[in-house]
Amino acid sequence: MKEKIKKIMIGYLPGFITGLIICGTISVIAATYFPSNQTTYDNTASGLESTNVQDAIDELYGVCFPPSAGDQIIEDGGLEKDPYECRYFFTGANPNNYITFNNEKAGWRIVSVECDGTIKIMSNGNLNPNKYMLWDENGRNNWANSSLMTYVNSNYYNSLTETAKKQMVTYEWSTGAVVENNNDLAGQISDENSRKWRGNIALPTLSEYLRTNSLSNCKTFYSYSSYDVGYSNICGDTTWMAIEDYPWWTLTPNASTSDYVFDVAAYAVIGDNHVDNRYADHFGVRPVLYLSSNVKITGGTGTQSDPYIIE
């Protein structure tokens, strides 16, 4: 965008120019041979710090066109560029990724910023604290036809505020099945991407849980098998997604069967369970959704006490 603006200005302002650039109440008066970056000028009227035309354009771009929320979050730092896809993840035990959404202050956390500018966020708690939910009442691990998919995209979606709905976008989700104890994270991501579903709300994938870990040794399935012995949970202590209060569902089916889905059990151990829970207690649900690339941050620093605020 910035380069496009520069090219437009170059095309319309050849040779010697005297420009008055106005953005709100800020003005910059410059006189130079465009596009030279060497000539200095008096910039005291603008309140900015640039001393040449090109820098003034850069500064005014930031004033006239504030960055999207995704850009600002990346600029704030604390994210890790994903080596497998064009995404930026918040990793570690407690990064500054809290955000207010649906009038729930710090009730959500940012999973990732996508290269298309959308922001993936995840509820910081169980959808129904006193009522765990089945993944699918009919015993199948196909998200597109599951009872949980229907619930979160109808009953739960309809409970959101109108403002929250406008801040969301429908998105394409990865719902493919992966092989249990797969130590090849790239292959696992590819398997997840092998099946797609389009909708408003879903769950975190198994690979996203692994990728939010700050320890490289904890970014594979085998790591959880070897490190998590009893309540000694090294990998669970190095990702913000882990919670000790209750187990919760992921979006990812187990490829070896048609009725099991991976979950994150109590104390953050990865497991799998029957989708209608004939053999275990019900699991919690942590809804995930995408915010539009058009949202803007109007306040906050991402901490739990001062979460990001968007409009």
96-123 confidence digits (pLDDT tens): 999 999 999 999 999 999 999 999 999 9
The structure tokens listed for 243 are 């919670």
Q: Residue 311: inside a domain, yes or no?
A: no
Q: Residue 306: inside a domain, yes or no?
A: no
Residues 6+ apart with CB under 8 A from 70: 113, 114, 117, 118, 119, 293
Q: What is the pLDDT of residue 55?
A: 59
Residue-wise pLDDT tens digits, 230-247: 444 678 888 999 887 788
The residue range of the domain holding 27 is 2-64
How many residues in the chain? 311
CB 281 within 8 A of CB 248: no
Bridge partners (DSSP) listed for residue 291: 119, 168
Residue 210: closest CA among 242, 178, 180, 179: 242
Is the same domain home to 114 and 158?
yes
E strands, the chain, in order: 16-23, 26-33, 79-81, 87-90, 98-101, 104-114, 119-123, 168-169, 171-174, 196-199, 201-202, 248-253, 260-264, 270-274, 288-291, 297-299, 309-310
For the cut 80, the answer to whether the pLDDT of residue 95 exceeds it is yes
The model's pTM is 0.79
Is the same domain home to 54 and 119?
no
CA–CA dist 233, 228 (Å, integer): 5
Is the same domain home to 32 and 151?
no
Bridge partners (DSSP) listed for residue 203: none
Work out the mean pLDDT of the chain and round it to a whole number.
81
Is the same domain home to 150 and 39?
no
Of the candidates 24, 47, 64, which is a domain's last residue?
64
Q: Residue 9: inside a domain, yes or no?
A: yes
Number of structural domains found in the chain: 2
Q: What is the pLDDT of residue 239?
A: 92
The structure tokens listed for 248 are 């919760």
Residue 125: closest CA among 219, 248, 255, 27: 248
Q: Residue 305: inside a domain, yes or no?
A: no
Is the same domain home to 187 and 242?
yes
Q: Residue 298: inside a domain, yes or no?
A: no
